[in-house]
């Protein structure tokens, strides 16, 4: 095997070899990260071809050319809040939204005053209805059903249940009467 162009033996491309560890003879391949001080190592029994040694490092999470340790090679999560800075118009729109919500939304009762809604605030502030809804929910709460509507809904549900009970009772009574009619018809015949 020729060793010409062997990155580990030549000490090039952030790769190098050492021949002892803790005073004991050994053949160790190393890769130095190009972004941080990390150095990875692989114990070798014999001098292998560079691509075979590279494969051992990639199996351990290293990225090569340029050499990056597993920590530096891992994709960094993007913080959605740390994107581009909001424009002055967006800041004004958000400020106006908060001001209008404070004036026209009753968080305790979960209702807008008459004539106001997420859509009217969005139009007045110049931002989307979805953004207004997100601000309202986070800062003031969900829209709640008025107490009168909740009471009316409860009355409707009770009457519907009563109607179902009466319909069932009437169907049972009608079936019993039909049974008696059949019995009387047999006696008369």
Q: What is the pLDDT of residues 3-40, one digit of tens each?
A: 457 878 887 888 988 887 777 778 899 999 988 999 99
Host domain of residue 172: 158-189
This model's pTM is above 0.85: no
| Whether 66 and 106 share a structural domain | no
Residue with tokens 């050499």: 67
pLDDT at position 4: 59
List the beta strands (DSSP E) in 57-178. Answer: 105-106, 111-112
| Whether 133 and 99 share a structural domain | yes
26, 45, 71 - which closes a domain? 71
| Whether 62 and 97 share a structural domain | no
| Whether 95 and 129 share a structural domain | yes
Q: Give domain status of residue 19, yes or no.
A: yes
Q: Residue 123: how many CA atoms within 13 Å on its side-chain side?
A: 5
| Whether 61 and 98 share a structural domain | no
Q: Give domain status of residue 169, yes or no.
A: yes
Q: Give domain status of residue 149, yes or no.
A: no
Q: Which residues, 6+ apart, have CB-to-CB distance to 70 below 8 Å? A: 60, 61, 62
Distances (CA, A) of 33 to 37, 57, 63, 66, 70: 6, 12, 9, 8, 9
Confidence of residue 2 (pLDDT cuts 50, 70, 90): very low
Domain count, the chain: 3
Q: Give domain status of residue 44, yes or no.
A: yes
Q: Give domain status of residue 77, yes or no.
A: no
pLDDT at position 3: 46
- Main-chain phi, psi angles of 32, to 5 degrees: -105, 130
pLDDT at position 81: 57
Identify whether the C-beta of residue 63 lies closer than 8 Å to the C-beta of residue 102: no
| Whether 162 and 188 share a structural domain | yes
| Whether 15 and 51 share a structural domain | yes
pLDDT at position 20: 79
Task: Tell me what the mean pLDDT of segment 164-189 comes to.
Answer: 90
Q: Give domain status of residue 58, yes or no.
A: yes
Q: Give domain status of residue 148, yes or no.
A: no
Tell me which H or E stretch contains 139: helix 129-139
| Whether 132 and 183 share a structural domain | no
| Whether 11 and 54 share a structural domain | yes
| Whether 97 and 53 share a structural domain | no
Q: What is the pLDDT of residues 88-122, one digit of tens each?
A: 888 899 999 999 999 999 988 888 999 999 999 99
Q: Give domain status of residue 185, yes or no.
A: yes
| Whether 64 and 101 share a structural domain | no
Nearest to 33 by CA among 85, 74, 84: 74
């Amino acid at each position: 095997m020729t060793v010409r162009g062997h990155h580990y033996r030549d000490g090039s491309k952030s790769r190098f070899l050492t021949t002892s560890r803790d005073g004991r003879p050994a053949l160790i391949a190393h890769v130095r990260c190009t972004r941080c001080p990390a150095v990875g190592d692989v114990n070798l029994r014999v001098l292998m071809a560079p691509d075979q040694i590279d494969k051992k490092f990639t199996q351990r999470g290293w990225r090569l050319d340029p050499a990056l340790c597993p920590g530096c090679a891992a994709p960094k999560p993007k913080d959605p809040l740390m994107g581009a800075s909001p424009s002055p118009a967006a800041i004004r729109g958000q400020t106006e939204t908060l001001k209008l919500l404070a004036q026209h939304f009753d968080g305790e009762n979960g209702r807008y005053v008459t004539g106001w809604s997420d859509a009217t605030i969005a139009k007045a502030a110049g931002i989307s209805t979805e953004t207004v809804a997100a601000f309202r929910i986070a800062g003031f709460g969900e829209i709640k059903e008025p107490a009168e509507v909740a009471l009316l809904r409860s009355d409707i549900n009770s009457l519907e249940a009563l109607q179902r009970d009466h319909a069932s009772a009437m169907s049972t009574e009608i079936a019993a009467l039909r049974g008696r009619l059949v019995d009387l018809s047999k006696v008369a015949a």
